[in-house]
Structure 1
Amino acid sequence: MAKSRHSAIGRQPSRLRIMLVPPVTVVLGSMITALPIITDYPILPPMGLLILLAWRLIRPGYWTVWAGFPLGLVDDMFSGQPFGSAAFLWSVVFVLLETIDRKAVSRDYWQDWLIASIATVFVLVGGMLIVDLQSNMLRLDLLAPQILLSTLLYPFLTRFIGAIDNWRVAS
């Protein structure tokens, strides 16, 4: 007896999968910073931020402007930054991205990469200055490896998030 195969034509993807996959991936990315990696200087990229930027730049209409705030609070719980710093910085990034989206006619891959790199530098430098403005003002060179790794990792994360997005909306 042959099994009947159900056609995927006309089927809709799960509403739960469509709504939950992006925030869950951002939270999982933020949890990566809680791994027990011991170094003298910060080197691990802000994975939650990079995943959030990848989602935001791939699917501009998915996230609301205020979405950076609660996801930033979750990131603050795992990153060890002062509570509210990522929430504030991610919110500023989201407001700026919304402004760019309203002004720009269209963007390409290279512009998205540049926008994500600038946003990552802004969040990393802002986070370092929030921790201790006076002593960190002259120590911004410590962030160079983390900024470089974050910038180089972004295209790979974008492809990964694109594959997850294709699965998310597939029926």
Structure 2
Amino acid sequence: MLPRFPARAEDIVRNRINRAPSPVLAVGIPWASIILASMATFSPVIASAPLLPPFSYMMLLAWRMLRPGMLPVWVGLPLGAIDDLFSGQPFGSAIILWSLTMLAMEVIDERFLWRGFLQDWLAGSALLAGYLFLAASFAGFAAGYPLPLSIGPQLLLSVFLFPVITRVVALLDRVRLLPLRRI
């Protein structure tokens, strides 16, 4: 038997009325996507200099820019700790930097109520550059030699991939808000 598709647009709207998204998906997808992006450092890419962009930090920025009130300000502490465990950075660097980022995003949201794609990209690029420079500085202090000089390719790749990450987050947001179907 073939599946039955709605014949009219009214039937599609009627099927979504009185349906709510799953609370588990609505709250869990942003957290899970950021945590899974933290695990991207387990990829088999081997390089002599940092090349892989900080996907988890980019996901945090994208979620914060797409849905400003969804992630609380204190989210930098637990998610930063998880990222520190997976990234190999000195423990506490992501906790501090992610918490400062969330505070900076609060200031940006209060200052610029209406933002567009270009403003979000510029703000994200500036925050990414600051994050990469400070994270490399923290790692350089721990290693005993300066690392911020080697983040150029990583910074360029991060800035150019940021719109792609924002698009992925927008798709995850659509999945997050899908209504539940009753059986």
Check whether TM > 0.5. yes
> Out of 146, 150, 157, which is 1:142 matched to?
150
Percent of aligned positions that are identical = 38
How far is the alpha carbon of 1:92 from its aligned partner? Answer: 0.5
Q: 3-state SS of the aligned residue for 1:132? A: helix
Q: Which residue is 1:123 aligned to?
A: 131
Distance in 2 (alpha carbons) for counterparts of 1:105 and 1:4: 44
Residue identity in the other structure for 1:157: I
Matched, 1:90 2:84: no
How far is the alpha carbon of 1:141 from its aligned partner? Answer: 3.0
Residue identity in the other structure for 2:145: S
TM-score normalized with structure 1 length:
0.92
The runs of 5 or more residues in structure 1 that have no matched partner are: none
Distance in 1 (alpha carbons) for counterparts of 2:19 and 2:75: 29
How far is the alpha carbon of 1:4 from its aligned partner? Answer: 8.7
Matched, 1:34 2:38: no
Aligned-residue CA RMSD (Å): 1.9
> Out of 1, 10, 15, which is 1:7 matched to?
15
How far is the alpha carbon of 1:69 from its aligned partner? Answer: 1.4
Q: 3-state SS of the aligned residue for 2:83? A: helix
Distance in 1 (alpha carbons) for counterparts of 2:20 and 2:124: 32
Distance in 1 (alpha carbons) for counterparts of 2:75 and 2:157: 25
Distance in 2 (alpha carbons) for counterparts of 1:111 and 1:118: 10
Residue identity in the other structure for 2:19: R
> Out of 139, 145, 167, which is 1:159 matched to?
167
Q: 1:3-33 CA distances to partner (integer Å, 9 max, x unpaired)?
A: 8999232200101110100000000001001
Cα 1:14–1:128 change in 2 (3 A) is same
Distance in 1 (alpha carbons) for counterparts of 2:95 and 2:60: 13
Distance in 2 (alpha carbons) for counterparts of 1:30 and 1:119: 18
- Greater shift, 100-109 or 18-27, is seen at 100-109
Q: Which residue is 2:9 aligned to?
A: none
- Greater shift, 57-66 or 6-15, is seen at 6-15
Q: Which residue is 1:76 aligned to?
A: 84
How far is the alpha carbon of 1:59 from its aligned partner? Answer: 0.4
**Over 4 Å off, 4+ runs:** 1-6
Q: 3-state SS of the aligned residue for 1:96? A: helix
